[in-house]
């Protein structure tokens, strides 16, 4: 499926993760490949909805929302469900980005409309590869498997 969001000039990725270190590492990976200006960070699902709610036009909507699964306030599953139920945001691709290998959680996320479920990388080199894949996904040149 091709998304209208791919047509915008600047790639804009929104990542929600309550872990400061995880945000720092993925941010550093984006910076390492020269794409630090492509990613914005929030700490939880409520802040995802707040961030999206402050956007007045469809142009600056993120090309991709990446959600950690285990977050306070609204977890990744709850946030995914709310995004997919809201017509304003339902077409934004969402990837779950988690350390959890729980098959039931993976299946639930895919059932709720996640584009993929990506296991967080272990090494910094893997982080760089993952950041590059997120960016290329937004450009339409990479497709994640449903579960990676």
Q: What pLDDT was estimated at residue 33?
A: 96
Neighbours of 106 (CB within 10 A): 20
- The answer to whether 116 touches 147, Cβ cutoff 8 Å, is yes
Q: How many helices (H) and strands (E) does the chain have?
A: 5, 5
* One pLDDT digit (tens) per residue for the chain, 148 residues: 344 444 446 899 999 999 999 999 999 999 999 999 999 999 999 999 999 987 665 557 899 999 999 999 999 999 999 999 999 999 999 999 999 999 999 999 999 999 999 999 999 999 999 999 999 999 998 888 876 5
How would you classify the pairing of strands 13-16 and 64-67? parallel
Which domains does the chain carry?
4-139 (3.40.50.2300)
Q: What pLDDT was estimated at residue 55?
A: 67
User: What angle in degrees, to the nearest 10, is found between the helix axes of 20-32 and 124-139?
Assistant: 70
Q: What pLDDT was estimated at residue 148?
A: 58
pTM, two decimals, is 0.89
Sheet holding 64-67, edge to edge: 39-42, 13-16, 64-67, 94-98, 116-119
- Nearest by Cα to 148 from 81, 83, 101, 91: 101
């Amino acid at each position: 499926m091709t998304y209208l969001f791919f047509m915008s000039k600047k790639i804009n990725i929104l990542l929600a993760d309550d872990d400061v270190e995880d945000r720092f590492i993925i941010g550093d990976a984006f910076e390492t490949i020269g794409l630090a200006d492509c990613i914005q960070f929030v700490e939880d699902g409520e802040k995802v909805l707040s961030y999206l709610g402050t956007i007045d036009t469809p142009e600056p909507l993120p090309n991709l929302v990446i959600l950690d699964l285990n977050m306070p306030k609204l977890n990744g599953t709850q946030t995914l469900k709310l995004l997919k139920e809201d017509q304003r945001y339902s077409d934004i691709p969402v990837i779950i980005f988690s350390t959890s290998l729980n098959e039931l959680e993976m299946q639930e996320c895919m059932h709720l409309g996640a584009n993929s479920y990506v296991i967080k990388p272990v090494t910094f080199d893997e982080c760089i590869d993952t950041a590059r894949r997120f960016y290329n996904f937004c450009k339409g040149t990479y497709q994640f498997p449903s579960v990676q």
